[in-house]
Chain A
């Protein structure tokens, strides 16, 4: 019985992580400009990957594998948001303007080409 609860819990985490991965990938293709795409990509490797790791930890139980997964998760928890931040920051300092509002879409693209 308890094995079934553990399985269900870990599957829920794995499915939630996978769902976020798919949503992030979809957003990466469908979003209109760079910053919104960054937003989508950030979901994949932060919450998506960490939820999947959490699901795997539940499967592994109290073992060395869990400790290793925990370390990987902690590493991702620090590095992924930082890299997203660094890329978005670099784009902003390079002069890429965020696209604001639907009508500005054409203007934003033209402005970027001017620079």
Chain B
């Protein structure tokens, strides 16, 4: 057995074990932590498949920010899952049959790594051959994501936008902007405050690097947006929600949620105005490559803006529901 398949099998076994543990556990804190572990393991698997961009997103979104958001949810709900009251025979049969059907479906799929698989012969060769001349970017993933498949990414950003708006509507964050609450400073947590102060700067800097270096290496708007939001969330966690709201008001964040999608769509409208197809950036610059570069930069920035604003406003909405913890309770 080669080292590659050994790593694959180890990671897959751990994925399976984690999934099983998540199913069996009733303590929801442990379930949240295990789902974070699950995401990190899948990120490792994706790195091993050479899909670093996807792995980056999985690590940042799955293992990072969604864990924080799920913990914030747990603070509002119960720490334990209710034990099922009815027999679970029927769901088990349904899941088993569906699983068998899916496994049967995979029998028709090409073998792993098969060079004659349709996925390697459809549009992928065109992307690989033409990216250098048409887009002029070393990272083909970014070129595919933002330019060749710009419509799909616009759809994804709109999905995030819609989901964020949905969460805000459900939690009623648009009304509640409490004022006059005692500002939480976490006076007793010297270590946390000092380390947070040290780390926030580098985290923001790294987010900007990921955002604007996405054309050359792994990264882009989705990952950068999440990392950027993480810096704000860590600030809100350590220095209190009120202080974070003072730095970045909730209304401003909600505005940015819309601005990102607007920027993305606006770039498409501008390319309309120049007499080209929607989201064809070639007309934006002096040459085709320059236009593509500018378009991708703007579009990725829109993605990052919306993603980070959605994450921060979701966190504000969740954390705002909790009564502030008084200093004596720490």
Contact = CB atoms under 8 A, between A and B. Distances in A.
Given A85-B191, A86-B192, A78 B199 contact: yes
B65 to A, nearest CB: 16
A75 B191 CA distance: 15
A78 B330 contact: no
A85 B194 CA distance: 13
B23 interface: no
Contacts of B329: 93
B198 interface: yes
Q: Looking at chain B's contact residues, is the secondary structure mostly helix, strand, loop, or mixed? A: helix
B195 A82 contact: yes
Interface residues of A, number: 8
Nearest to A86: B192
B66 to A, nearest CB: 18
B330 A82 contact: no
A89 B330 CA distance: 9
Contacts of A85: 191-192
A5 B45 CA distance: 34
Contacts of A78: 195, 198-199
A75 B330 CA distance: 26
Contacts of A86: 189, 191-192
A95 B195 CA distance: 25
Interface string B181-210: 000000001011001001100100000000
B195 A79 contact: yes
A28 B155 CA distance: 45
A92 to B, nearest CB: 10
Contacts of B191: 82, 85-86
Contacts of B198: 78
Contacts of A75: 199, 202
B1 to A, nearest CB: 22
A86 B190 CA distance: 11
B122 to A, nearest CB: 35
B199 A79 contact: yes
Contacts of B202: 75
A93 B330 contact: yes
A95 to B, nearest CB: 11
A73 B329 CA distance: 34
Interface in A37-76: 75
B112 to A, nearest CB: 30
A91 to B, nearest CB: 13
A112 to B, nearest CB: 16
Contacts of A89: 189
A78 B203 CA distance: 13
Interface string B88-123: 000000000000000000000000000000000000
A75 B329 CA distance: 30
Contacts of A93: 329-330
A111 to B, nearest CB: 21
Interface in A74-115: 75, 78-79, 82, 85-86, 89, 93
B328 to A, nearest CB: 11
Task: Give the top 10 A-B pairs by smallest Cβ distance, nearest first.
Answer: A82-B195, A85-B191, A78-B195, A93-B330, A78-B199, A86-B192, A78-B198, A82-B191, A82-B192, A79-B199
Interface of B: 189, 191-192, 195, 198-199, 202, 329-330
Given A82-B191, A82-B195, 12 more contacts: A75-B202, A78-B195, A78-B199, A79-B195, A79-B199, A85-B191, A85-B192, A86-B189, A86-B192, A89-B189, A93-B329, A93-B330
